[in-house]
Structures are given as structure tokens and as C-alpha cells.
Structure 1
Amino acid sequence: MISTHILDTSLGHPAEGVKVVLFEKKNGAWLEVSSGVTNEDGRFVFDLTPHKAQFKILFSIKEYFEKSGREVFFLDSEVAFEVKDDSRKYHVPLLLNPYGYSTYRGS
């Protein structure tokens, strides 16, 4: 399972409605393999069984902040990672505010 959870740290609650796209690197090119929008809890599970490969998640953060009329500096965030053990879950949280973001390997 590959999943994400986005928290809007400027408001102290989950970021609902953020478009997220999962890409897989194949033959040197990034190909879209799954996408969706975070739910009311800021979570999304990609429709893909993890396998050994390189992946990246594109978070469309500008759209999220513009919906609430807030100014934003970063347009998007891309987080690339590698699945080495396809028997594990891969959770990629994003802590977000209008002028920055951070991520880590979740559980």
C-alpha cells in the first residue's frame, strides 16, 4: 500500500481536497499510475500494489490554498522515493503551510 496524509499546519487540521498524483519511473521516464484527492481527514490511498520501483508523489498545493483565498509561495511539491521491499506499507505524510512543507517516511 502507498498512501499519504496531508496536514495544514497553518490551520492545525487535515488538508482536504488536495490533488495527489503517483508516478512510477520506467525506462527513465515518469509515468502516472494513480491519482485522486485527499478526503476530509487529509488522507488518500493510491490504487496500486507496491512493487520494487522508484515512485514520486505530486502534491498540487497551489490549488488547495487558492480555494480558501490564501496566498501561497510553492505551486507544487514532488516527493520521490524508492520501494525496495514490496511486502511493506509505504506512507508519505506531508506537513503543509502556505510558505513551506516537510515530509518523512511514515508508518
Structure 2
Amino acid sequence: MSAITTHVLDTALGRPAAGVPVRLERIGDTTPQSLAESVTDADGRIRELGPESLEPGSYRLVFDVAHYAAATGQDYFLSAVDISFTPTEGRAHYHVPLLLSPFACSAYRGS
């Protein structure tokens, strides 16, 4: 099982956001290191993204909102959403949902 999963919901259309490209990166003092890439499924989910565990450090999820907006014919203010986070020791899985609309977004650590 992947240490990272996500779920993107399009709150303007009231449905899952299918087809959103997402990239997992490890960030630090140098250039970000890409660890995995995937695209949300018909339910707006990515059930497997990256390694089975995360080493201590800082990470970022990058959601390609511009791609999704173009594919759905919507006019979005945001072109990408970057969520940076630092895993806590002892936690094996992180679920990071994103609520998305043309003018705003919200993210949280899910269960």
C-alpha cells in the first residue's frame, strides 16, 4: 500500500474531479525530487501514489488544476495547487483530500 493517497472533489460541479494529474515530490534544500505521478480516477481518487513509506523530510503534492480546468471547460483562477507537508514519525499512511472550485481550494489531512 502506498503511503500517500488523495481524493479531489470539484465543489463547483458537485462531483469527483476525474483526470487531475498529481505529482508527489520530496523537497529540501535542492531541486525537488519527483517520487511519483498519477491521475485521479473516475471517483476523483488516487489510491496508490509513491512509496510504501516516507522517509523523514518535507514533501509536496502538486495538482495540475489547469489541465483539469481545460478538460472540463471551466475557467479556473488557480493553475496548480501545491500542498507541502511534513510526515510525522509513526504514521504509515497519509490521505490528502483536495476540495476544488474555480476560485478557491481547501485541503486537509484525511483518515
TM range (shorter): over 0.9
Q: What TM-score do the two structures reach when normalised by structure 1?
A: 0.92
Match of residue 34 from structure 1: 36
Give the aligned residue type for 2:100: L
Residues 4-45 of structure 1 deviation map (CA, whole Å, 9 limit, x = unaligned)? 100000011100000000001244431100001000111112
CA displacement at 1:88 relative to structure 2: 2.4
Match of residue 46 from structure 1: 49
Match of residue 108 from structure 2: 104
Match of residue 10 from structure 1: 12
Equivalents in 1 of 2:28, 2:104: separation in Å?
30
State the secondary structure of the residue aligned to 1:20: strand
Quote the sequence identity (%): 35
Equivalents in 2 of 1:106, 1:29: separation in Å?
28
Equivalents in 1 of 2:60, 2:21: separation in Å?
14
Residues 33-82 of structure 1 deviation map (CA, whole Å, 9 limit, x = unaligned)? 00010001111120312222211000001110111211111100000001
Give the aligned residue type for 2:78: F
Equivalents in 2 of 1:40, 1:86: separation in Å?
32
Match of residue 78 from structure 1: 82
Gaps of 5+ in 1: none
CA displacement at 1:85 relative to structure 2: 2.1
1:91 is aligned to 2:99: no
State the secondary structure of the residue aligned to 1:94: strand
The alignment's C-alpha RMSD in Å is 1.3
Q: How many residues align?
A: 107
Equivalents in 2 of 1:4, 1:86: separation in Å?
20
Q: What TM-score do the two structures reach when normalised by structure 2?
A: 0.89
Equivalents in 1 of 2:90, 2:63: separation in Å?
23
In the alignment, is the contact (CA less than 8 A) between 2:59 and 2:86 conserved in 1?
A: yes
Equivalents in 1 of 2:17, 2:100: separation in Å?
8
Gaps of 5+ in 2: none
